[in-house]
Amino acid sequence: MSGTGAKPAGVVDEADAARAVRQMFDAIAPRYDLLNHVLSANVDRLWWWRTARRFRAVLARPDAAVLDICCGTGDLTMALLNRRPRGATPILAADFARGMLSRGARKFGARKSGAPCAVALEADALHLPLRSASLDLIVTAFGFRNLANYEAGLREFYRVLKPGGQLGILDFAEPGGLLGRVYAVYFRRVLPAIGRLVCGKDGPYNYLPASVGNFPPPGEMLDLMRAMGYEECAWQPYTFGIAGLYTAARPVVVEERDE
Ligand SMILES: C[S@@+](CC[C@H](N)C(=O)[O-])C[C@H]1O[C@@H](n2cnc3c(N)ncnc32)[C@H](O)[C@@H]1O
């Protein structure tokens, strides 16, 4: 499990994987929102809303420092903003693909004056330009799976979270049973074909099912989160387990271990 991460076709190392992922999202950015809503029949909006609701207590605190990492075109950020009080500290919305981030920034900029706001930040999730122990909440939607190294991602999130800070990772999963088999046909055959049609590109929508297949199943992800020092690790399936939200916290006090 250690050292696993996204592996777009043809990449040889982690730097290569990160570059391929960034180029792919920059390339599909103009069509990303449209395709997302079409391919998920708008269920993605429900998933972002549920994620924001799960963290409503921390979002309601005006001084809470919140990061949406791998924010893409900013739809999870917008759902989080709906839970922020007026005058709250701006949410940091970060991504390394400029094409995606600039679309998010436009959405944040179009908010009514005086409404809770977000700041767009071009940054790599594995090397965040943020102080250690500075954040109360990190959330990410459909981005974690794309990191070149999952362990390094969890380590970096742990570093920037305050003790007691919370983490939420929303991502796809592969449901089991009959529904899982039917869904697999949609996800592996129909979805790439629609993606190709709308986007005019082959790669990204073949990469999506491949990346979900490569992503650790919930039991393994939870083991990894615990191994990286997180506590209260849990997974909440959404929509029959097509997606799900991992939650965890950086411990307030780290117990000394006897060697
Ligand atoms: C599938 S999109 C999800 C966007 C958005 N969160 C959503 O829910 O629609 C994945 C995003 O993760 C970003 N991403 C992947 N790896 C990243 C990394 N190492 N650092 C920052 N962003 C990354 C991509 O650029 C892309 O915008």
pLDDT top residue among 83 and 35? 83
In angstroms, rounded to a whole number, what is the distance separating the alpha carbons of residues 214 and 153?
16
Atom of ligand 1 nearest to the CA of 101: 27
- Output Rg (C-alpha) for the chain, integer angstroms: 18
Residues whose CB is less than 8 angstroms from the CB of residue 230 and which lie 6 or more positions away in sequence, other chains included: 154, 158, 167, 248, 249, 250, 251
How far, in Å, is the centroid of ligand 1 from the Cα of 95?
6
Residue 183, number of CB atoms within 10 A of its CB: 18
Taking only the tens place, the pLDDT of each residue in 222-257 is 999 999 999 999 999 999 999 999 999 999 987 666
Q: Is the CB of 24 under 6 A from ligand 1?
A: no
Judged by average pLDDT, the poorest of 102-116, 196-210, 212-226, 233-247 is 196-210
Most confident of 5-19, 31-45, 120-134, 200-214: 120-134
Q: Is the CB of 143 under 6 A from ligand 1?
A: yes
Find residue 93's DSSP bridge partners.
Answer: 68, 120
Taking only the tens place, the pLDDT of each residue in 121-172 is 999 999 999 999 999 999 999 999 999 999 999 999 999 999 999 999 999 9
- Which uninterrupted H or E stretch holds 120? strand 118-122
Q: How many residues does the chain have?
A: 259
Q: Which amino acid is at 200?
A: G
Q: Is the CB of 126 under 6 A from ligand 1?
A: yes
Among protein residues, the one whose CA lies closest to atom 27 of ligand 1: 72
In angstroms, rounded to a whole number, what is the distance separating the alpha carbons of residues 66 and 63?
9
Residue 231, number of CB atoms within 10 A of its CB: 13
Cα four-point dihedral sign 126, 45, 75, 162: negative
Look up the CATH architecture of domain 14-174+217-249.
Answer: 3-Layer(aba) Sandwich (3.40)
Q: What is the mean pLDDT of the chain?
A: 92
Q: What's the pTM?
A: 0.94
How far, in Å, is the centroid of ligand 1 from the Cα of 258?
39
